[in-house]
Structure 1
Amino acid sequence: MTYFIDRRPNAKHKSAVNRQRFLERYRKHIKRSVEEAVNRRSITDMERGEKISIPTKDISEPVFQHGPGGARNIVSPGNKEFLEGDKIRRPAGQGGGNGAGEGGASNQGEGNDEFAFTLSREEFLEFVFDGLELPHLQRKPLKSLEEIKMVRAGLARDGVPSRISITRSMREAYARRIAMRAPIKRALKEAQEALAAEERKDPVLRNPARVVELKAEIERLEKRIDAIPFIDTYDLRYHQLAAQPQPSSQAVMFCVMDVSGSMTQNHKDIAKRFFLLLYLFLEKHYEKVELVFVRHHTAAREVNEEEFFYSRETGGTIVSSALNLVNKIIEKRYPAGQWNLYVAQASDGDNWDDDSNICRDLLVKQLMPQLQYYAYVEITPHDHQSLWHEYETVAAQFPERFAMRQIVDAGDIYPVFRELFKRRMSQER
């Protein structure tokens, strides 16, 4: 049997290839540990790695051994308990141990703890956001700043070695050798035929000087053929690249958070953790996604990232103020024909009674026809209020592009986030 061992050097004497193979093999265990880690972390502690433990029994490898085979007779001196044909029972198992957590204490035997290793920040985030994507992301028409893709644009005689076309270069070399050898081979064939005719003559009529001359000519022509190079710099061809404008798949995510007086500090912490997950997800997987942060109570304001997460401003609740602001920003800076538009809203569901109907009309008539996706999370352990019921009407009209979920405590954040942004098989590319 032949064994192939990957000994390519990696940073810190580790094999990146083997590590990726290990992570893929135990993906189920690792993902479960990552989900638990996400639920117990604070809002400021989402970007570091994580220490993962896998039970020893789950990393055991199958082993083939040669057994004794056949029927065996064993003589046990001093046996007072068993007779011939008796079956020996397995010893009842306390202590001794084949691993961690297998029974009580013992003064003998050896065991192994769970296998523990540390995920890097990139690996941790990869498992956190595995299988997630922005729903219904579409290619939009070109903007003034076009997305450029380098594509092949024929062949050229000049270029860098990394873009050499081996097939075309060898074809050119073969054609050149045929073209250069053809007249020489014809002359060689004529000289060989003349020499053969001269040598077939009677010795009396044969011209020795002519024979010597023809042999010299044949030798010279053969050297000329051998001197033709197999490949020449003239034969080399290189792939030429040209910049080609591409449709842009740029997107903008509006993060809308309720900071009214009815939102307790616990509610705000849950909302911040949800938006922090969203922020990390977009930062990791998408290069051309802009974030717009909107906080609202009775009035809505566009704020920066730091103010969005840490400002203590509060007040009453008018949700439509935030929706009106989002609509104005879209009209001013993000036309729907050029951008993929997304909104993620977090609230406790409390709203001024007469305002919920206004929110519904704003969504149905103005926002939803422009948006790719709207995600609403309601952070409350209580019964839903008027805003939720009005949003249900919107969800019924736009079932594919409007999603709403309830979060009761911090443990619901990650499962709800995965439900809202899970990969859809019918995603339009």
Structure 2
Amino acid sequence: MHIVDRRLNPRGKSLENRQRFLRRAKSAVQQAVKRSLQNRNIRDVLDGGEISLPIDGMTEPSFRRGEGGISDQVLPGNRAFVEGDIIPRPPGRGGGKPKEAGEGDGEDSFRFVLTREEFLDVFLDDLELPDLAKRRLSETEEFSPARAGFSVSGSPSNIAVARTSRLAMMRRIALKRPRTEEIEALKREIEEADDEERKAALEAELKSLNEKSKRIPYIDPLDVRYRRFEDEPKPVAKAVMFCLMDVSGSMSEHMKDLAKRFYLLLYLFLSQRYKKVEIVFIRHTDRAEEVDEETFFYGPATGGTLVSSALACMRQIIAARFDPAEWNIYAAQASDGDNSYSDGSTTGQLLQHEILPLCQYFAYIEVDEESGDSSVSRSPLWALYDSIRAAALPLSMRKVCRKNEIFPVFHDLFQKRDGEKVAP
């Protein structure tokens, strides 16, 4: 027996069958979203759009009669297989890949269009800031409406129809208000009465019932009840994310593109998932400056390299605006690993003794040319940070050479871990 929902999705709507499909094909959709992020431009990286899924496994679910236990089957005509052999997949089941001529029938990929909201939901499904709210909750409170019973006054849009109807019925029963059926039956009895005295008595009774009905209304203002809401305070854990990016002359356009892709994912993740997270953009050459979002992503800059200038700028901003006792402090730094030789000790001192003790989490992303061998090369900054990481401080490090590595690295750094520490 097959149960198929053939209702069409209206334009701009999401019916239950669409959501059911997304839940059923969740893992496949997530993989398709990751693949689609690799070759998009920075400005439209999360704009939704069409994704392709392998057609295998996209069939509609069906019910069949269950069969318990272990059963043996004998297939007639078998001369090639014995018990325990694995039967290969028949030709023409290419998992969505087109076949060449003579290789059997191919199958097209299943194409599915995601809205921007659905795309973001899939992208953000299993991401979070690690160790959020371990520090003291701030005194700032967020208020949200919560149900608090009923009241006798309020907005007409908040009328509690069920409660009002119940109170009105209780009042009518208690005051013995005549029912409509009783009045109609009395009217029919008057029409059928032949005796004038009997008819006069019935008319007097009808008049009394009508007057009583007018005195006892069907709905009285005393019956009306409104749903009441009260603002319920909720403590808010405040958090700030510092985005530090090297824009010096040693950063090629490819490296800057990799760094911007990472920060764009981070910015969208924070702005969509959290309402109380401040984002501070700092870019540096041989000097650092706090900039706005537009300048950070698209403003040109070049010069020498002093990594300590960005860390010093971050330290000054924390001291001026973000009390570590009240704020969860996070940082993400992107660089090509190049730094002035004389600045190494200053950078190490700032990071190890002044920045990391204040941070819940510090992520370092080192970008390299696409032809670079990230497994062998060790830049001066990477070697310095690697020695600091050995001190069990909240520092994680990753290297990126190609665009298709951005999402896996980002996902690895910010995925949910159910209380476990982020792997360095």
The aligned counterpart of 1:123 is: 118
Counterparts in 2 of 1:342-357, with a 5 A limit? 342-357=330-345
Once residues 92 and 284 of structure 2 are traced to their aligned partners in structure 1, the CA distance between those partners, rounded to angstroms, is: 61
Q: Cα offset for 1:58?
A: 2.6
Report whether the alignment pairs 1:391 with 2:385. Answer: yes
Per-residue CA deviations over 1:127-175 (Å, capped at 9, x if unaligned) read 23331112222273234xx532223445320123553456755665566
Which residue of structure 2 lines up, in the alignment, with residue 140 of structure 1? 137
1:364 to partner: Cα distance:
3.4
* Structure 1 residues 96 and 293: alpha-carbon distance in aligned structure 2, compared to 1, 3 A threshold: closer
Structure-2 separation of matches of 1:23 and 1:117:
10
In the TM superposition, residue 274 of structure 1 has moved relative to its aligned partner by 0.9
Q: Secondary structure at the match of 1:233?
A: coil
For structure 2, the residue ranges without an aligned partner over 5 or more in a row are: 66-75, 81-89, 179-200, 369-373
Q: CA deviation at 1:330?
A: 1.5
2:409 to 391, 397, 416: 416
SS in 1 for 2:128: coil
Q: Distance in 2 between matches of 1:31 and 1:98?
A: 17
1:363 corresponds, among 351, 369, 372, to: 351
CA distance in 2, matches of 1:47, 1:147: 29
What TM-score does the superposition give when structure 1 sets the normalisation length?
Answer: 0.71
Matches within 5 A, 1:81-230: 87=77, 101=98, 104-105=101-102, 113-138=108-133, 140-143=137-140, 146-165=141-160, 169=164, 172-173=167-168, 176=171, 180=175
Cα distance in 1 between the residues matched to 2:61 and 2:165: 50
Q: Is 2:264 the counterpart of 1:276? A: yes
> CA RMSD for the aligned pairs?
4.3
Instruction: State which structure, 1 or 2, has the greater radius of gyration over its C-alpha atoms.
Output: 1
Q: How far apart in 2 are the matches of 1:261 and 1:100?
A: 44
* Contact map agreement 1:132 1:423 (CA 8 A) in 2: yes
1:97-133, Cα deviation, whole Å (9 max, x unpaired): 9997457349xx9875332222222322332333111
For 2:33 and 2:128, how far apart are their aligned partners in 1?
A: 18
Aligned equivalents of 2:120, 2:315: Cα separation in 1:
32
355 and 369 in structure 1: CA distance in 2 versus 1, 3 angstrom threshold: same
**Which secondary structure does the structure 1 equivalent of 2:51 belong to?**
strand
Residue of structure 2 in register with 1:322 after alignment: 310
Say whether 1:23 aligns with 2:22.
Answer: yes
SS in 2 for 1:117: strand
Aligned CA distance change for structure 1 residues 230 and 2 (closer, same or farther; 3 Å): farther
What are the ranges of 5 or more consecutive residues in structure 1 without an aligned counterpart?
67-85, 185-212
The alignment-based identity, stated in percent, is: 43
- Distance (Å, rounded) in 2 between the aligned partners of 1:345 and 1:88: 63
Deviations 1:257-292 (A, max 9, x none): 012233222222211111111122222222333321
The residue number in structure 1 matching 2:419 is 426
Determine if contact 1:155/1:237 at 8 Å carries over to the other structure.
yes
Partner residue, 2:36: 37
Q: TM-score of the superposition, structure 2-length normalised?
A: 0.72
Q: Secondary structure of the equivalent of 1:40? A: coil
Contact 1:181 1:225 in 2 (8 A): no
1:4-43 residue CA offsets vs partner (Å, 9 max, x unmatched): 958597326x653222211221222222222122122233
2-structure distance, mates of 1:51, 1:35: 13
The answer on whether the counterparts of 2:242 and 2:332 sit within 8 Å (CA) in structure 1 is yes
Label 1:250 to 1:34 Cα distance change in 2 as closer, same or farther (>3 A). Answer: same
Query: 1:207 is matched with which residue?
Result: none
> In structure 2, what is the Cα distance between the partners aligned to 1:53 and 1:294?
37
Correspondence for 1:402: 395
How far apart, in 2, do the equivalents of 1:288 and 1:225 lie?
58
1:189-243 per-residue CA deviation (whole Å, 9 max, x = no partner) reads: xxxxxxxxxxxxxxxxxxxxxxxx9xx99x9799969985675431232232233
Deviations 1:328-385 (A, max 9, x none): 1122122234433221100122222343333333233322333222111122335223
Instruction: Indicate conservation of the 8 Å contact 1:345/1:375, yes or no.
Output: yes
2:251 to 263, 271, 288: 263
